[in-house]
Structure 1
């Protein structure tokens, strides 16, 4: 079993494995290249994202700078918007649906390290060799999800479709669809309903209209 296969099984793996290090170096370099491009270098940016990500949908825009740990472990749907400083530490798989919007400084982290300091330094791997080991849990973010500024999503979390996550939240548990959730740790505040429609805010709508 390869170290990458161990990641996907959710068991301990060695981040210092040479094959994993080569994958990370490649994607760190691609992330750095993307971060040095200008916003109007659309063709260059598109080509870099196609190399960087496991899957990228149509009509996506990521402001940059960006940081992806593996990149190829991340799949992004159509019409994605990512604001400044998107960080995705995608040891385990990260899946993002269609029409998702991320505010500035959103971070997704999948790896989990031991609590005991001595175990965090080193444990014995499957071959009995002392290594620094960790494990990772996947993250799934549904379609039409809005993550506000400075949201952190931790490993093992699923955020359902059409959710809104408040600014500065740390999401450590699943959030059911159609929820407004916020806080540290993030908790469901209430269900999103038709009463949240901008239709009921004429002072903001002014001469605009809601589409039916």
Structure 2
């Protein structure tokens, strides 16, 4: 297996692999171009996002700045909006459904590191996918951690730290996030 195959499979991988470094560099260039593109050139921004992401709907809008690791592991549905300073670390697949809105300064993270200090010092890491259902709204400054799945119609309160998965039709908030209300 290649290091990329290991990464996507959720196994330990070496992020310093030359192919992975090259892939991250390519994503950084696309993000840099996207973030530097004038608001007057929305068509150019959309083309850059379509090059960056594995898949995305036609109605997608992201405010700069946007950052990601690989881009090609991100899929977003129709009517997607991400506000300023969104970060998606996509060492594993990140799948976001239709009609989703992300407030400013949201982080979606798939990469994780060993808890054991000696193992962590080797630089080896792993990743777990994140899935966000349809019709979700993620509040400002929220963090979605590796391995989390959010069902459809979930609202994540501002500043929430989501460390586990949640079902459909919920409002969640807090650190760690917990159910505040059933919808």
Paired residue secondary structure (2:40): coil
Residue deviations 1:80-116 (CA, integer Å, cap 9, x gap): 0100001000000000000000000011010110112
Alpha carbons 1:94, 1:140 under 8 Å: kept: yes
The alpha-carbon deviation at position 71 of structure 1 amounts to: 0.2
Q: Report the counterpart of residue 3 of structure 1 in structure 2.
A: 3
User: Cα RMSD (Å) of the superposition?
Assistant: 0.8
Equivalent residue, structure 2, for 1:52: 52
Alpha-carbon distance in 1 for matches of 2:154, 2:109:
19
Give the deviation of 1:40 after TM superposition.
Answer: 2.4
Matched, 1:86 2:86: yes
The answer on 1:146 being equivalent to 2:163 is no
| Number of aligned residues | 183
Match of 2:126 in 1: 135
Match of 1:155 in 2: 146
Normalized against structure 2, the TM-score is what? 0.98
1:190 aligns with 2:176: no
TM-superposition CA deviations, 1:5-57 (whole Å, max 9, x none) = 10122110000000011000000111111111122211110111111111111
5+ residue gaps, structure 1, are 123-131, 193-212
Alpha-carbon distance in 2 for matches of 1:41, 1:68: 21
Runs of 4+ in 1 over 4 A off after TM superposition: none
Kept in 2, the 8 Å contact 1:109–1:153? The answer is: yes
